[in-house]
Amino acid sequence: MIVPPHLIADSIFGQLPEPSPLQAFSGGTGLGLVPFINTMLKVITVVAGLFGAFNIISAGFTWLGSSGNPKAAEEANNKLLYSLIGLIIIVGSFTITAIVSFLLFGDATFILNPHIQGVGKLGP
């Protein structure tokens, strides 16, 4: 009788469960490079969005406080313009990614939220 290799490894090393503090971050796909990159992209997007919103508010205060100073008003207008362009780039990148994902895979969230099937347990 031939014993499958995974049963031999399980009997020697046993099963190692995922550490409980990390289970909240695994998202059901386990730990690995794909969930890590996906999480980092989400964090970077949120930080960029908050930075853009902060810049828009800051530009508004600068514009209100310019009190007729054309240099300060121009600085506020430029800051507002660049912040809006940055937010449009962020939203546009997600839109383009969703369109490409839909055209290639038939699911708009396939690239943004990847789900990679594992091999699972081998044998019966």
Give the model's confidence band at 108: pLDDT under 50 very low, under 70 low, under 90 confident, else very high: confident
Q: Is 111's pLDDT higher than 70? A: yes
- Band the pLDDT of 53: cuts 50, 70, 90: very high
Q: What are the DSSP calls for 16-73, one per residue?
A: -PPPHHHHHHHTTS-SSHHHHHHHHHHHHHHHHHHHHHHHHHHHHHHHHTTTT-HHHH
Q: How many residues does the chain have?
A: 124
Residue 31, pLDDT > 80, answer no
Q: Mean pLDDT across the stretch 34-58?
A: 88
- Whole-model pTM? 0.61
